[in-house]
């Protein structure tokens, strides 16, 4: 009995020591200078379609976080291959800078909120994890400034997030942060309501003739993307919409309303931009051998 106990305690201490050494050797290996570590600007260079979608779905919020970027180049033309005119290059540079800023902020929030306490970012070569989460992680994937400190996590209450980018829509993430159980029944993930703020949005009441033809209630409204923090800003946006209408459609302006609404704040936007980036960066594309 005594023998078994001492074998078990030596094995226990051995496992602990091995984990300790591995945790030290691995970070040392990836920072030891054999391969250049990618900067945040480099990992942000490829703008994800989801980042562009955030700008389209949350225009007022995006403008608050990144003033002037949507004017420098419209979201629609960011991903289109329109050739490299000087203007376009300058616009893309502004988008890349905004992307880098969001990724850095999103990573900081991921750390601050303790997301890593329940989520890993490391697919291990055991238990068929690759079937569930995607290809086994390699150290090259962590060889960038966003993974300092590395976000492997300590345990998995929720799923591994190594390849979360593009897996879910931006709206799914927003709904999930507001109330995880609404999109994932029985979830134990906490709500993150401080990623939201109250404001005012524009909505459009449907055309009365359409209401009559379709049987929809005449007061049915459709929201217009973008939530403004003050009623005055929303009223100004309403006026801009009305001024942009051709005269034949002036009556449309009367059906534009300003109503209270809730939206993601810039922290929420940044965190989603970060989640949508995870697993999309190709390490070999930017790392060079010394």
- Closest approach, Cβ 50 to ligand HEC, in A, equals 12
d(CA 174, CA 182): 11
Point out which span in 24-32, 42-50, 154-162, 201-209 binds ligand HEC (CB under 6 A).
154-162
158 is a contact residue toward ligand HEC (CB under 6 A): yes
- Closest approach, Cβ 47 to ligand HEC, in A, equals 20
**Residues 109 to 148 in contact with ligand HEC, rule: CB under 6 A:** 110, 113-115, 117-119
Residue number of the CB atom closest to ligand HEC: 158
- Closest approach, Cβ 279 to ligand HEC, in A, equals 11
164 is a contact residue toward ligand HEC (CB under 6 A): yes
In the bound state with ligand HEC, the residue whose beta carbon lies nearer, of 167 and 224, is: 167
Among 187, 220, 230, 282, binds ligand HEC (CB under 6 A): 187
Residues that bind ligand HEC (CB under 6 A): 110, 113-115, 117-119, 157-159, 161, 164, 167-168, 180, 184, 187-190, 192, 271, 275
């Amino acid at each position: 009995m005594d023998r078994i106990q001492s074998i078990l305690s030596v094995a226990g201490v051995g496992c602990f020591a091995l984990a300790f050494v591995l945790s030290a050797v691995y970070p040392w290996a990836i920072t030891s200078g054999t391969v250049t570590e990618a900067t945040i600007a480099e990992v942000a260079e490829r703008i994800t379609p989801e980042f562009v979608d955030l700008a389209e779905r949350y225009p007022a919020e995006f403008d608050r976080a990144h003033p002037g970027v949507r004017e420098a180049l419209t979201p629609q033309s960011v991903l289109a291959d329109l050739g490299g005119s000087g203007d376009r290059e300058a616009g893309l540079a502004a988008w890349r800078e905004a992307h880098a800023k969001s990724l850095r902020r999103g990573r900081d929030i991921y750390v601050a909120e303790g997301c890593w306490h329940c989520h890993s970012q490391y697919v291990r070569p055991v238990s068929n994890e690759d079937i569930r989460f995607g290809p086994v992680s390699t150290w090259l994937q962590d060889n960038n400034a966003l993974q300092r400190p590395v976000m492997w996590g300590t345990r998995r209450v929720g799923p591994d997030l190594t390849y979360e980018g593009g897996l879910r829509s931006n709206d799914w993430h927003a709904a999930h942060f507001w109330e995880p159980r609404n999109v994932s029944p029985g979830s134990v993930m906490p709500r993150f309501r401080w990623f939201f703020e109250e404001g005012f949005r524009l909505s459009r009441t449907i055309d009365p003739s359409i209401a009559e033809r379709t049987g929809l209630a005449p007061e049915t409204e459709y929201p217009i993307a973008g939530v403004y923090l003050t009623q005055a800003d929303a009223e100004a946006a309403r006026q801009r919409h009305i001024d942009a209408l051709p005269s034949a459609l002036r009556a449309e302006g009367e059906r534009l309303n300003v109503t209270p609404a809730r939206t993601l704040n810039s922290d929420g936007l940044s965190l989603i931009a970060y989640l949508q980036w995870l697993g999309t960066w190709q390490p070999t594309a930017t790392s060079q051998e010394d």
